[in-house]
Amino acid sequence: MMHYSNWLIDVKNRASLRNACKTPPNTDRSNKGNVADTQNNNPQPNTAKTCEHTVTTHLWKSGYKIIKKIGEGTFSEVLKTQSLKDGKFYACKTMKQTINSLEQANNLREVQAMKRLSPHANIIQLHELIFDKETGTVSLICELMDMNIYEFIQGRETPLPDHTVKHYMYQLCKSLAHMHRCGIFHRDVKPENILIKQNVLKLGDFGSCRSVYSKPPHTEYISTRWYRAPECLLTDGYYSLKMDIWSTGCVFFEIMSLNPLFPGTNELDQVAKIHDVLGTPEQSLLQKFKQSRAMHFNFHPKKGSGLSRLISNCPAPALSLLYQMLAYDPNERISAETALRHTYFREARLTEKKAESLHRVSGIMDGVGRSGTHNSLDQIWRPAKLGKQLRGRHTRQTPLMSHNMKHVAEPLIKRNIPHYPAELPKLNMVVPGPQISFPVSPMPTFTVTHQGALPAITSKKCQSRLAKPRDESHRATFKTYHMPPLDRKHGGY
C-alpha cells in the first residue's frame, strides 16, 4: 500500500508540471473531484478582464451578444449568447488556448467529434465555429439546454420517480451507444456534462474524447475522479471505451440516490471507496492490472457492502443493470448497446416503438393529404383488384371512356404507396379495367346493316345468352377474338 502511495505522489507531481506548461486553469465549478487533481491558480484580475473584453468583441463581430456566463472549466468557459441574426439563444463555448489558423481550429478533437456524431437526438449539436485571426480565439456555438444533471438533482430532498430516471438513463445509453458505434469514447461522463431540456437528455463536452482505435497507453490522468473506472486508476493508461460505462453506472446511482457513489478525496481514497462497496477484486484480475503498471500494489482482501444497502427501494432490474455497469473487470462490463436491450428499459423500448409508429403513420397521412391522393381512391387500388372486379365486363367507347382511361395506368405508379392500417370501404362504383393488348392484327372494318339491333358476339370462352347471329360469315370474322358479350340494359347498350 505504501508503494502505491509513493507512486501516486509521483503521478501528481508529473501532472502538476504538465499543467503548469499549459494555459493557467481556473477553479472547478463544483466541489466534486476535478479532472487532474491539481492545485489550480486563478488568473490575475487584469488578465481575466482583458480576456473577457476580447471574447465579447470577438463574438459581437460574428453577430452574437453575450447574455451571461453559464459556467467555466479548466480549458474553456461557457456563455449564454443571443444571435443578432435570428434572435435565438445559444451556448457559446470559448477555448482558453489560442489557435493559429482556422484549419487548426477545425482539426480540434472536440470539433471533429461533434461533426462526426451529428446529428443525433441525444448529442449536443454544433451550430457554428467562430475563429478570430487577431486573437486566435475559438468559440463553438452550440444548442442551448436548460440545465445539467448535477443542477437538476442538487438540493433535491425526495428521489426522482422511477420512470424519470429510466427515461434519462435510456437516452444516456443511446448517446453512448451512438458514440461507440462511431468509434469515439467520451472519457469524461459525469452529471455536469449531461444536459437536459424538458424531457430530452443530451451528452456534451467532447474535449476529452478519444478514438476507440487508438492504441494504449492513453493519458493516465483522465476523467473526473469520482467517476473514474478502476482500470484508469490502477494502470498506466490501459483502458478502453468501457470506462464510459463505469462512469454511466456512477451517474445512474447518483440520479437514483441523489448522492455520489464513490466520492474519493484522492486517488488512494477513491480505490478504497470502490473496494468498500464492491469488495477487493480477485488476484487474477489484479495481476492483469499489474502487468501494465510500473509500480506494484497490493490490497487487503475485503468484502464489499454491496449496492443494495446504499440505495433503498431500488427496483430489481435497475439493480441488475447497475451491477453490470459497475463490473470491476472491464471485459465483463456491459456495453452500451447491450444495456439498451436490458429488462430495465423494456417499457422505454415499447414507448419508443409506439412513438415511431405514430410518427411514421402521421407522416404518411400528411404526405397523402398534401399530394391530394387522400380522396382519390381509384389511385390507391391495385390493377389486380380491378381485373377481378371488372372481369367479364366491357367498357363503352363513349366520351366518358376517354376521361376514365387515364386512370387505368395510374395504379402502376401508385404501387409504392404504403399500406394503410384501416381497410378501405367498399364502394358501389364501376371503374374501368386495364387495357389488354391482343397478339393479333387489328379488327378489320366491316359494314353491318341492321334494323335497330346489333348482332350478339359469341366467344370461345364466354357463352352468350343471346340469340345466334343471323349471318354465319360475321361469326367467322369474330371467332379469333375473345371479347366479352354485351348485356342489354333497359333496351340500350
Dihedral (Cα; 31, 32, 38, 44), 10-degree rounding: -40
Strands 184-185 and 147-148 turn out to be unpaired
Work out the angle between the directed axes of helices 316-325 and 162-181 (0-180°, nearest 10).
30
Instruction: Write down the H helix ranges in 194-307.
Output: 230-234, 242-257, 267-278, 283-290
Of 37, 132, 146, 188, which is the active-site residue?
188
Q: Which helix (H) or strand (E) holds 197?
A: strand 194-197
Contact assessment for residue 267 and residue 4, using Cβ atoms and an 8 Å cutoff: no
Q: Which residues contact 235 (CB under 8 A, 6 or more apart)?
A: 217, 220, 289, 292, 293
Measured between its terminal Cα atoms, the distance across the chain in Å is: 107
Least Cα distance to 83 among 142, 146, 147 occurs for 142
Q: Is 354 annotated as a binding residue?
A: no
Q: Find the radius of gyration of the CA atoms of the chain.
A: 37
Q: Take residue 361 and report the three cell numbers written for it.
A: 403513420
Residue 461 backbone phi and psi in degrees, to 5? -90, -35
Question: Is position 188 annotated as part of the catalytic site?
Answer: yes
> Would you state the cell numbers that stand for residue 418, as one nine-digit string?
404504403
Secondary element (H or E) of residue 15: helix 2-20
Q: Which three cell numbers stand for residue 257?
A: 440516490
- Residues designated as active site: 188
Residues flagged as binding site for ATP: 93
Residues flagged as binding site: 93
